[in-house]
Structure 1
Amino acid sequence: MKKKIALFLALCLLMASSSGCSQKSTKPTANPDVWQTVSDAYVYCLPLVLVNETMVAMTNTVAANSTRAPINQLIHAKGLATAASKDIVTPNVDTVYSQVFLDLSETAMVYVKPKTERFCSVEVMDAYTNAVSILGSGGDTQEQQTYLFTGPNYKGPVPDKMKQVSLPTNLAWILIRVVCNGDADLDNVYAIQNQMQLIPLDRYLSGEPDNPPAGTYNPENDFVPITHVDAMTPQEFFDLANQLMVNNSPTAADAPLMKTLSSINVGPGCTFDSAVLGEDASNQWNNMVSNLTSVLATDSAKFSVALGSWSYFGEPIAEFGTAYEFRALIAINGIAVNPATVAIYPKAYKDSNGETLNGNNAYTIHFDKDALPPTAENGFWSITAYNSDNFLIDNELNRYCINDRSGFTLNQDGSLDILVQSKAPDPSQRSNWLPVSDGDFHLYLRIYLPQESILNGQWSAPVINKVV
């Protein structure tokens, strides 16, 4: 243990010296640019800190269950989201999730993906929320495949018939989405989950049964990650960020920014001193955090793609590069999203006349003939309604979306009208009814495995018409 501590301290000092950080405390300064540097540092570090705190919360358990699992162990969700689901905002009702947080600092992990004949996509993310690889649907193969997840320091061999997925960070987040065609289909999804395997490499090669170690539970780690991060002080936030960057290094492309951030001792192994923030630091910090989303939205508007009344964020989503503001915005509002080639999420707040959607009115979402969202093999689409609080809307049918698997009825000319209203329509139209409640609401049109005609703007999105 003493050797490990000494090695860690030596590594911290090495990283600090190589990053240009000073190990001396930084004294208060009147430099008016310091808060711009602090803001840049916060934006850069936010996804890393948020991923770590999500990991802390979701691994806070002794044994794996449907919502949590110890590090390097799979979490298999059970069931689809309903109006009672309040754990995350804007939940989808199309896929059932499996996921795992990996610590690759001391071991490589073997993942066996089963063969599937439906959408089953494995998103492999680094500690900064970049999608390093997509496996399965939208990626390489629907066939069974064995993968070796390795960290940046792995020097060992890759066994035969394994495909290496090399991660640039030791902390990784794997999110697996399996499409589900309603409650009656859940057993089929569970069968896919049960065929997945995740085993340390040495255990896999030995052929011995894998008995995953028990985790630990700490009631202090029962928190909502984004709320927990928002409440951090500058010292807490940057202490954690500096520590995390030791094992999850910035990329070469980040070097210019890291040089700037070193002026306030933010970087791998640096020692941050909140005295650099000067007087009234607490109020300025809280104002910066509170106003961050609106600032980031303005900076990221150039990545928004308009589709009539709908809009979505396109490239470089999930493959952010140095688009740090965009990366932070997505981490706050929709962490762990797919690249646009795998899925897009057009959102609508207003109808075709530019008026806010409200449940006191009735609407039709009109698709022209042969204009339903074109998707690749195993792709799908859905339209889901959410209240202003970003949760699903309770209704008598327990129906939260209309999708390509719904039993809707086409018009005689082959077009489709989805009825969006609070009051039940005639029985003959109920198959096309997407219930909402009184008050403002918004819609998401999720399209998984979109064809190129959607991404290049040739496809026309459905029109949202107010019924008068």
Structure 2
Amino acid sequence: MPTDNFNNEIPEDLLTPDSIELPGSSLSFVDGFPTLESLTDAYELEDFNRATSLFISMVPVASLEAIRKGLVDFVEAGPVENRWVIFDDLMDSNSLFLTGNTDTVYAFGILDLEQSGPVVIEIPPNCGPSTINDATFSFVIDMGAPGPDRGEGGKYLVLGPDYSGPLSDNENGELVEHDGESYFVAHSPTRVNWVPCRGMLVDGDTKPASELFRNGIKAYALKDKDNPPPMIWKNMSGAEVNTIHSNHESFFEEIHRTIDKEPPEVFDPEILGMASLLGIRKGESFEPSDRQRAVLERGVMVGNSYARAVTFAPRAPEAYLYGEENSMWYNMLHGNDYRYLIDDGAGGVDADARLMFFYMATVNTPAMILKMPGVGSQYAVAARDSSGAWLEGDRNYSMHIPPDVPAKNFWSLVVYDVQTRSMLQTPDQSFPSVNSMRPDLVTEADGSVNLTFGSERPAENEGNWIQTRPGKTWFAIIRLYGPLEPWFEKTWRPGEIEREV
């Protein structure tokens, strides 16, 4: 039987109804034509959807840009390759860094290969885990123990996208002779790169790692290799610095700076096209109207909401280390692929796994997902107590650390603010953490440890207490440095965070 106004029967799924009801909007049509009012609504709705999708896809890019800006603004003006920051006295809660820890000495450098050309980074022997990440937060190369120098130190030559020379065809990590020197080659597809280095404490002391970095790390433009300028170090411990991306419409200004700086080839064309349709284009200023800013803001709000949902209560069952029905501890790197590919790419990109990690954390390296007993570090996150309720600063909690923690070096637990994903700021503790090296840590007769969390200082066992703040939610990360087999085999597991009645 013919469909009305047609000669033939037309499948229903080809036809557009006269009205479509959507959350927050209603669209009207006249035999398939949108009404004039619905034209504007449809445009704004798609701009909103694109803004949301762009936020979810570009969190890694905005995060790296926020780190770059925070570090460059902190050091004195000049070439960036030899101006590094260091946390001589550890990182504390004054500095806004995504889930930084209180237990290793950080040294951070920024490279701008467009300004400097190729850069040499000298890594000293026995250097802690160090990495180069590009402007999209993709992995470039490891240095130090997990890198090709295998902890013996060496010179790394970082070549950017504008390089075309005799080393263009050499593989990343390959040791080459060039102009009388031996270098490990590191090709980066972007001009901006971040170089994070971690130094381990020695019996709780920061000085050995700090001196190793200050005396051993050198970074300079290849063109200056015969007379490299001295390193300029600036201690960032205790500094009020922000390195975290925006969760408002200024997020798009952050990614615009990166898109404008970097070669278009480093971005997925679909994502770059989405940005272009929102007015974010290489070589052009980004000046959205007030109406566009309002749409971008709403898009970010929804993207941010989803990021918070998937970060603190992962959808993927495999994220939970012991099954969500048994434990609230989960793995921030549950995809087990530093490229965030599903089935090595056959299933595409795991956008949720990528979003969860980069919304919460930094540093992208395969070393964080490899099973290497006794080497590196492993992490577990908890944002809910044993009943499944969010962790709140108005309540008191306890946690049991069973004996024989499978950590060759030490373990630590740090508490973070849910809003900033940085260390929780409280009145009495600039280091919101406990670790197994603390001299005032009270250990039970069987070797276990009982931790407490609350806003008020306890009458006893203060070394086992982490302060929280009324009105603030929080989450915790436990780290095992030099994790051993029982961690990987899950024969040892941390206790749950229990709410005190």
1:262-321 Cα shifts (integer Å, max 9, x gaps): 66676666888958xxx9433221111123222234567337334523223113575335
1:164-197 Cα shifts (integer Å, max 9, x gaps): 1221212111111112358x72322221112111
Q: Secondary structure at the match of 1:311?
A: coil
Q: Secondary structure at the match of 1:59?
A: helix
1:214-248 Cα shifts (integer Å, max 9, x gaps): xxxxxxxx9945466834386x56753542343x6
C-alpha distance 455-287 of structure 1, shift in aligned 2 (>3 A): farther
1:428-468 Cα shifts (integer Å, max 9, x gaps): x455x223246354322123454465356554232334456
Match of 2:475 among 430, 435, 442: 442
Q: Which amino acid in 2 is paired with 1:187?
A: K
Quote the RMSD (CA, aligned, Å).
Answer: 4.1
For the Cα contact (< 8 Å) 1:123–1:135, is it kept in 2?
yes
Larger Rg: 2
C-alpha distance 266-29 of structure 1, shift in aligned 2 (>3 A): farther
Q: Which amino acid in 2 is paired with 1:293?
A: N
TM-score by length of 1: 0.72
Q: Which amino acid in 2 is paired with 1:210?
A: P
1:108-161 Cα shifts (integer Å, max 9, x gaps): 111111122xx7111210111123222224444222222111213432344353
More helix by share: 1
Aligned mates of 1:353, 1:30 — CA distance in 2: 43
Aligned mates of 2:286, 2:458 — CA distance in 1: 59
Equivalent residue for 1:129?
A: 137
1:41-56 correspondence to structure 2 within 5 Å: 41-56=54-69
Is 1:201 aligned to residue 219 of structure 2? no
Is 1:401 aligned to residue 412 of structure 2? no
For the Cα contact (< 8 Å) 1:126–1:167, is it kept in 2?
yes
Q: Secondary structure at the match of 1:146?
A: strand
Equivalent residue for 1:462?
A: 495
Equivalent residue for 2:211?
A: 191
Q: Secondary structure at the match of 1:152?
A: coil
1:13-412 correspondence to structure 2 within 5 Å: 30-31=42-43, 33-60=46-73, 63=76, 70-82=80-92, 85-88=94-97, 90-105=99-114, 107-116=117-126, 120-140=128-148, 141-154=150-163, 155-157=165-167, 158-159=176-177, 160-180=181-201, 185-194=205-214, 195-204=216-225, 206=226, 208-210=227-229, 224=242, 226=244, 230-232=248-250, 236=253, 239-246=256-263, 249-250=265-266, 254-255=268-269, 257-258=271-272, 280-298=291-309, 301=314, 302=316, 304-307=319-322, 308-314=327-333, 315=335, 318-320=338-340, 322-324=349-351, 326-336=353-363, 339-341=368-370, 342-357=376-391, 362-370=396-404, 372-374=405-407, 380-386=410-416, 391-392=423-424, 394=426, 400-407=432-439, 408-412=441-445
For the Cα contact (< 8 Å) 1:245–1:267, is it kept in 2?
no
Q: Which amino acid in 2 is paired with 1:249?
A: E
Equivalent residue for 1:22?
A: none
For the Cα contact (< 8 Å) 1:74–1:198, is it kept in 2?
no
Q: Once the 2 structures are TM-superposed, how far is the Cα of residue 356 of structure 1 from its aligned partner?
A: 4.5
How many percent identity over aligned positions? 18
TM-score by length of 2: 0.68
Equivalent residue for 2:14?
A: none
Aligned mates of 1:28, 1:391 — CA distance in 2: 44
For the Cα contact (< 8 Å) 1:359–1:441, is it kept in 2?
yes
For the Cα contact (< 8 Å) 1:384–1:443, is it kept in 2?
yes
For the Cα contact (< 8 Å) 2:202–2:208, is it kept in 1?
no
Q: Which amino acid in 1 is paired with 2:124?
A: P
For the Cα contact (< 8 Å) 1:100–1:174, is it kept in 2?
yes
Aligned mates of 2:46, 2:500 — CA distance in 1: 53
1:60-94 Cα shifts (integer Å, max 9, x gaps): 36738xxx9835532223312345x2444654210
C-alpha distance 449-50 of structure 1, shift in aligned 2 (>3 A): same
Q: Secondary structure at the match of 1:41?
A: helix
Unaligned 5+ segments in structure 2 are 1-38, 168-175, 233-239, 342-348, 371-375
For the Cα contact (< 8 Å) 1:266–1:272, is it kept in 2?
yes
Q: Which amino acid in 2 is paired with 1:128?
A: T
